[in-house]
Amino acid sequence: MINNRGKIFLYKSYIFSVEKIVNDMFSELSDLKTTCSISRDFVSQLLILEKAAEKISKNTAMCTNFKPIFIIVSEIVKKRQEIFKDIRKIENFCDDFKNCALGIKNYKNESEKICSNYNSILRKRVNICDVNIFFLRFMIHYNNFSILLIQNALKYRICPQLRLILQYHILLIKKENMKMEEILNFINKSSR
């Protein structure tokens, strides 16, 4: 059994690793080059987002022994891997969907606003020393971030196959959030 000092050390090292993943993700997002295709640009964004979500989830699984977290983490990892496969299958078609300069500018400006807003939200320090609660709260925000970026891409002319994947992905993310909120409510009721 881990004592309080051990829990605090585990939590701090867990938070450090999540912060590194988030820093790397935002750095990769800001380094992305704009093309003449919103479809292509969003695929690049989405792959970075999904890779980071998978890393955070796997990292969480190593730091908890709470079964509901293991279940949600395995679902997140499985769904992200499915999205990777689906995106890789249609990636080359995305290059065929070009957008006008104004559309690209508007898409990019809105994406940058969303990233800037969530950069501060996802880096916000939490005053609880609980991996499970941190992960659930963090991932709900993270999923909301992903949904906003997807909705932004869906406003524009994009590859039809990508549009279908993104619409399906939003449904999956919303289901994930509902499950995570249920687990959070369970934890909160249990701790009273």
pLDDT greater than 90 at residue 189: no
pLDDT band at residue 126 using 50, 70 and 90 as cut-offs: low
Distance CA 170, CA 11 (A): 30
Using 50, 70 and 90 to split pLDDT, how confident is the model at 92? Answer: confident
Q: What is the reported pLDDT for 10?
A: 77
**Residue 133, Cβ neighbours under 10 Å: how many?**
17
| Cβ neighbours around 108 below 10 Å, total | 15
Flag whether pLDDT at 2 surpasses 60. no
The yes-or-no verdict on residue 46 having pLDDT over 90 is yes
| Residues in contact with 145: Cβ distance below 8 Å, sequence separation at least 6, in sequence order | 49, 114, 118, 121, 122
Q: Per-residue pLDDT for 47 more than 80?
A: yes
Give the helix ranges, DSSP H, for the chain.
4-31, 38-61, 67-94, 101-123, 131-154, 160-190
Q: What is the DSSP letter of 97?
A: -
**pLDDT(1) > 60:** no
Alpha-carbon separation of residue 110 from 7, 30, 153 (angstroms):
40, 13, 10
What pLDDT is recorded for position 107?
97
Would you state the pLDDT for residue 188? 84
Give the domain ranges of the chain.
4-190
φ and ψ at residue 191, rounded to 5 degrees: -85, -5
Average pLDDT over residues 59-67: 91
* pLDDT at 4 > cutoff 70: no
Give the architecture (CATH level 2) of 4-190.
Answer: Up-down Bundle (1.20)
Tokens of 74: 């395995």
Task: Name 182's Cβ contacts closer than 8 Å, sequence gap at least 6.
Answer: none
Q: What is the mean pLDDT of residues 97-120?
A: 94
Three-point CA angle 153, 155, 158, nearest 5°: 60
9-39 confidence digits (pLDDT tens): 778 889 999 999 999 999 999 999 999 999 9
**Residue type, position 137, single letter:** R
Q: Looking at the predicted structure, is the pLDDT value of residue 160 above 60?
A: yes
